[in-house]
Amino acid sequence: MEALTWQGEQDVRVNEVPRPEIVEPTDAILEITATAICGSDLHLYNGYMPAMEEGDVIGHEPMGEVIEVGSEVERLEVGDRVVVPFTISCGSCWFCEEDMYSLCDESNPNAEMAREEMGHSPAGLFGFSHMLGGFDGGQAEYLRVPYADVGPVKIDSGLSDEEVLFLSDIFPTGYMAAENADIEDGDTVAVWGCGPVGQFAIQSAWMLGADRVIAIDRIPERLDMASYHGDADIVNYENDDVYDRLMDMTRGRGPDRCIDAVGTEAHGTGLTGVTDRVKQGAKLQDDRPYVLREAIQCCRKGGTLSVPGVYLGRANVPFGALMNKAITVKTGQTHVQRYLDPLLEKIEDGEIDPSFVVTHEGSLSDAPDLYEKFNEKEDGCIKAVLTP
Ligand code: NAD
Ligand code: ZN
């Protein structure tokens, strides 16, 4: 079959690879009908993700049709149309039973590698580092889905692929980010990053009762989407000092809830005021935890900082500011399975049509070009969907 493979920094290629087969009796095999490129894929693409190997099949936002099931699969049948969460979860360990699926204790066969780095291992992920299992990903014609009774959600209704595909990751991720922000009536929520995750964090902040949403980015099309679709007030960090603007907008108090939907690859703004403020303390390489530090500086005292943005290794965080300002921090990979049914219901009820983020479509062979566009934020690319 054809699949998109990782070959090194900014080098992804479509290759012929063996078609996946049932390995465990709890597996299912899917024929992929749609699969998206995610901001998390850019960490691999840009070479920040440890333990990648040449030829790894990437991608973790897939959906498709079940074409084969293992002998112990009970919930799925051949012919079912499903969306697959990016997190692989066993469904029966202590963490899964507590609804913390992205912390599954059983699904990462390379847990030892993760333990060395982090003390414990999170769940295995599709199409990611070998430290998180090295599972083949879903930017391919076919996909093996482990623990097929736990992850995939069946789509029976007449909804299109693009309306439901983002249940695999970015809609639940934006939603959990907003939920983690502990939004209360009257709150102002600031969202750094108007990529796909930021867009869904904005939508979800409204669903969870925000009084005002402020979106921060520098890419005009993304800010436009946040304003037009997300009804957010916008701040372009290239034109404005983010700290000053946010203080102006909140009478000096700062946003009650701050969401970092950017992560490890944040750009520095280059503005002197901001740089001085957020570059305090020792610097991490290339100033990468830039948004994290800016959000901590801006957040109101006693507020909440929610971090869906992915960080790798160490991030240089001003812990003193967090402590003295009594800021609550919540973060994590998304417990996707927890949100599938309630968010599918919102789509079915017409409360939201997640396909508003899609700007680019193509076949698998277009993937290298679409990765480049998405990475460079060129050509108005906000979310690209591949149809193998
Ligand atoms: P993206 O790369 O499309 O979006 C990031 C956005 O941040 C871009 O629009 C960029 O212009 C903006 N940005 C960069 N520097 C900034 C700054 N200094 N201030 C404000 N904005 C800035 O990615 P995405 O798909 O939206 O994903 C965002 C993050 O969420 C990534 O780190 C991704 O890995 C992570 N993610 C986490 C989970 C999870 O389970 N927690 C799931 C999916 C994605
Ligand atoms: Zn993703």
Per-residue pLDDT at 274 exceeds 90 = no
Task: Look at residue 50 in the predicted model and tell me its pLDDT.
Answer: 86
Is 246 close to ligand 1, i.e. is its CB under 6 Å away? no
Fold of 2-169+334-386: Quinone Oxidoreductase; Chain A, domain 1 (3.90.180)
The pLDDT tens digits for 124-175 are 999 999 999 999 999 999 999 999 999 999 998 899 999 999 999 999 999 9
Shortest-distance Cα residue to atom 34 of ligand 1:
40
Q: Kindly indicate the confidence band of residue 16, based on its pLDDT and cuts at 50, 70 and 90.
A: very high
Residue partners of 252: CB distance under 8 A and separation at least 6: none
Q: Kindly indicate the confidence band of residue 36, based on its pLDDT and cuts at 50, 70 and 90.
A: very high
According to DSSP, residue 126 is labeled B
Q: Kindly indicate the confidence band of residue 214, based on its pLDDT and cuts at 50, 70 and 90.
A: very high
Q: For residue 170, report the distance from its CA to the centre of ligand 2, in Å.
A: 6
Per-residue pLDDT at 295 exceeds 80 = yes
User: What does the pLDDT average to over 304-327?
Assistant: 89
Per-residue pLDDT at 278 exceeds 90 = no
User: What is the C-alpha separation between 196 and 367, in angstroms, rounded?
Assistant: 18
**Any idea which of 58-72, 230-244, 285-299, 319-333 has the lowest mean pLDDT?**
285-299
Q: For residue 71, report the distance from its CA to the centre of ligand 2, in Å.
A: 30
According to DSSP, residue 167 is labeled G
Give ranges for CATH 3.90.180.10 in the chain: 2-169+334-386
Which helix (H) or strand (E) covers residue 66, if one does? Answer: strand 62-69
Per-residue pLDDT at 368 exceeds 70 = yes
Q: Do residues 243 and 254 lie in contact, with contact meaning Cβ atoms separated by under 8 Å?
A: no
How distant is the alpha carbon of residue 248 from its chain centre?
Answer: 30
Give ranges for CATH 3.40.50.720 in the chain: 171-331
3-state per-residue secondary structure call for 186-204: CCEEEEECCCHHHHHHHHH
Atom of ligand 1 nearest to the CA of 87: 40
Q: Which two tokens stand for residue 154?
A: 């069946």
Is 38 close to ligand 1, i.e. is its CB under 6 Å away? yes
Task: Look at residue 280 in the predicted model and tell me its pLDDT.
Answer: 37
User: What is the C-alpha separation between 295 and 266, in angstroms, rounded?
Assistant: 12
Q: What ipTM score was computed for the predicted complex, to two decimals?
A: 0.99
Per-residue pLDDT at 284 exceeds 60 = no
User: What does the pLDDT average to over 195-211?
Assistant: 98
**Any idea which of 251-260, 317-326, 350-359 has the lowest mean pLDDT?**
317-326
Per-residue pLDDT at 66 exceeds 60 = yes
Task: Look at residue 289 in the predicted model and tell me its pLDDT.
Answer: 61
User: What is the C-alpha separation between 302 and 31, in angstroms, rounded?
Assistant: 48
Is 388 close to ligand 1, i.e. is its CB under 6 Å away? no
Is 59 close to ligand 1, i.e. is its CB under 6 Å away? no
Is 261 close to ligand 1, i.e. is its CB under 6 Å away? yes
Shortest-distance Cα residue to atom 26 of ligand 1:
195
Sign of CA dihedral 209, 329, 89, 87: positive
CATH class of 171-331: alpha beta
Task: Look at residue 268 in the predicted model and tell me its pLDDT.
Answer: 58
Task: Look at residue 364 in the predicted model and tell me its pLDDT.
Answer: 98
Shortest-distance Cα residue to atom 44 of ligand 1:
40
Is 306 close to ligand 1, i.e. is its CB under 6 Å away? no
Shortest-distance Cα residue to atom 20 of ligand 1:
217
Is 217 close to ligand 1, i.e. is its CB under 6 Å away? yes
DSSP result, 221-269: HHHHHHHHTT--EEEETTTS-HHHHHHHHTTTS--SEEEE-S-TTPPP-
User: What does the pLDDT average to over 103-121?
Assistant: 94
Sign of CA dihedral 35, 357, 49, 261: negative
Burial (CB < 10 A; 0-12, 13-18, 19+), residue 109, is middle
Task: Look at residue 281 in the predicted model and tell me its pLDDT.
Answer: 33
